[in-house]
Amino acid sequence: MSVFGFVGLGNMGRPMAENLIKAGHDVRGYDVVDAIREQAAAAGITIADSANDAADGADVLITMLPKGEHVRAVLLAQDGPLTRLKPGGLVLDCSSIDVATSRDVHAAATEAGLLVLDAPVSGGVGGATAGTLTFMVGGSEAALAAAQPALDAMGSRIFHVGGAGAGQAVKACNQMVVGASLAATAEAFVLAEQLGLTPQSVFDVLSTSSGNTWALHNFTPRPGLVEGSAADNGYQAKFAAALLAKDLGLALSAAESAGVELVVGSSAKAQFDKLVAHDGSLDSSAVVKVIEVKS
Ligand code: NAD
């Protein structure tokens, strides 16, 4: 059994923390939002008063925060959680963030005598709940060995893709693909509907044909097709549009620095930006709402 501090108990963080508890670990969680802390406490997570409290004497500190700025605010704070972990402890940042922030976290944690990995995930809330996430890991072999029990408790596939920030780089590529395929899937529904087809027939054909995608099943744009989809629940976020727009922005800035033109990625970003301008707290599948139909 290890002692974990867990900061960020939102859509992903709470089920991930619950799986650590199920695996027999002691988890102290913290989130800035009162209602989220209450939900986490109801799910059996011991609540800490601050990120520093969560990290105090812990073997591992996990962060699952929205953006790089939140990770900086927590992990790079003066006299922050990095000063509270057990000597030689591990920092596991599972948030999807920019490579530069991730490398700064690696440097600060290493300077503090800690092990550190960037370990963003794929698999959504379903994978977080089932403990079947895919982890994309950047960092040292020693840090990976220390992280193995935690990664096994929360996921089923672990890819060690390189050094500091490498997990974030491959995550940005993955998000570009999921954003583009979701935008294309939503466009297919709107187009087919305008051509007189029902959402059910579009789903039945795409899901068994070459148009099948992960997005079709996990970000189904229309209600009544996949049980438990966000569309069935008024597009209440499982993965907020603001977060997918952020991820597409990370892919585009990485592409700019690498000199690669992302035509499809840029178009997908424009669609999610439109949704964010309308309401970024909606689920990403609500992108279907911003597809224009000129009558
Ligand atoms: P979320 O907004 O549901 O949860 C993030 C939590 O962090 C919120 O509860 C928020 O209150 C908390 N938080 C923000 N600042 C904080 C601070 N300073 N201290 C403590 N808590 C703080 O987001 P999520 O959907 O759980 O996503 C988390 C990360 O995982 C993001 O980077 C996202 O891009 C990534 N991700 C999400 C999914 C998904 O399907 N939801 C899938 C893969 C990756």
Task: Write the pLDDT tens digit of every residue in 53-65.
Answer: 999 999 999 999 9
Per the rule left: phi > 0, alpha: psi between -120 and 50, beta: everything else, 224 is left
Q: Count other C-beta atoms under 10 Å from residue 24's C-beta.
A: 10
Nearest CA to ligand 1 atom 44: 121
Same domain? For 198 and 139 the reply is no
**How confident is the model at residue 1, as a pLDDT?**
83
Cα distance between residue 168 and residue 187, in whole Å: 28
H-type alpha helices, 56-165: 68-75, 99-111, 124-130, 141-154
CATH of the domain at 229: 1.10.1040.10
94 Cα to the center of ligand 1, angstroms: 9
CA–centroid distance for 80 within its chain = 23
Which of these three, 133, 163, 193, is where a domain ends?
A: 163
Average pLDDT along the chain? 97
Which of these three, 138, 163, 188, is where a domain ends?
A: 163
Give residue-wise pLDDT tens across range 274-294. Answer: 999 999 999 999 999 999 999
The active-site residue, picked from 67, 171, 246, 269, is 171
Cα distance between residue 133 and residue 118, in whole Å: 15
pLDDT band at 216 (very low <50, low <70, confident <90, very high): very high
Residues with C-beta less than 6 Å from any ligand 1 atom: 7-13, 30-33, 36, 51, 64-66, 70, 73-74, 95-96, 121-122, 124-125, 238-239, 243, 247
Same domain? For 11 and 142 the reply is yes
The number of CA neighbours under 13 Å toward the Cβ of 92 is: 31
Cα distance between residue 184 and residue 176, in whole Å: 12
Nearest CA to ligand 1 atom 30: 95
pLDDT of 232 above 90: yes
Residue numbers of the domain that contains 220: 169-290
For the question of residue 171 being annotated catalytic, the response is yes
Question: Quick check: 168 and 246 in contact, CB under 8 A?
Answer: no
Nearest CA to ligand 1 atom 8: 10
How many separate domains does the chain show?
2
The two three-digit tokens of residue 187, written as one number: 């466009």
Which of these three, 139, 163, 187, is where a domain ends?
A: 163
188 Cα to the center of ligand 1, angstroms: 29
Question: Quick check: 75 and 93 in contact, CB under 8 A?
Answer: yes
Same domain? For 7 and 151 the reply is yes
Output the pTM of the full model: 0.94
Looking at residue 89, what DSSP letter applies?
-
The number of CA neighbours under 13 Å toward the Cβ of 50 is: 11
Question: Average pLDDT, stretch 247-257?
Answer: 95
pLDDT of 295 above 80: no
